[in-house]
Amino acid sequence: MKVHKNDNVMVISGNAKGKTGKVLKVFREDLRVIVEGVNIIKRHTRPAQKNPQGGIIQKEGPVHVSNVMVICPKCNTPSRVGRKGVTDAVTGRKQMMRVCRNCEEMF
């Protein structure tokens, strides 16, 4: 999956199309992400020790990862993400980095 926690993403389809936000949590098995301020759901809760008043709680629901695009930190546009192998000069190890397909910036 090419979307990571703390990435800025834009929703490209669905009811929240065009909204942007930060990824709060990633569910790799389900291919879903929770984006801050997107797909707000209401949950009716009974009074309990944690919430003695009860009532309606609003929270973000998961969005499928195919409905979001990562916003490149350099060109500030939603773009596809590629991967490029880079060798570390000090250790000589090769590691994979994410690359913006528009401006070729590594992040």
Query: d(Cα 15, Cα 33) in Å, to the nearest integer?
Result: 16
Q: What is the mean pLDDT of each run of 10 residues along the chain (107 residues)?
A: 95 95 98 97 95 94 97 95 91 92 91
Element (H, E) at 59: strand 55-60
| pLDDT at residue 67 in the model | 97
Q: Looking at the 3D structure of the chain, how many domains does it have? A: 2
Task: Print the domain residue range for 86.
Answer: 79-107
**Domain CATH code at residue 9:** 2.30.30.30
**Of 52, 23, 26, 49, nearest to 37 (Cα)?**
23
Same-domain pairing of 85 and 101: yes
| pLDDT at residue 88 in the model | 85
Same-domain pairing of 83 and 103: yes
Amino acid at the residue 29? E
Q: Give ∠ CA 54-58-59 in degrees, rounded to 5.
A: 125
Same-domain pairing of 14 and 64: yes
pTM: 0.84
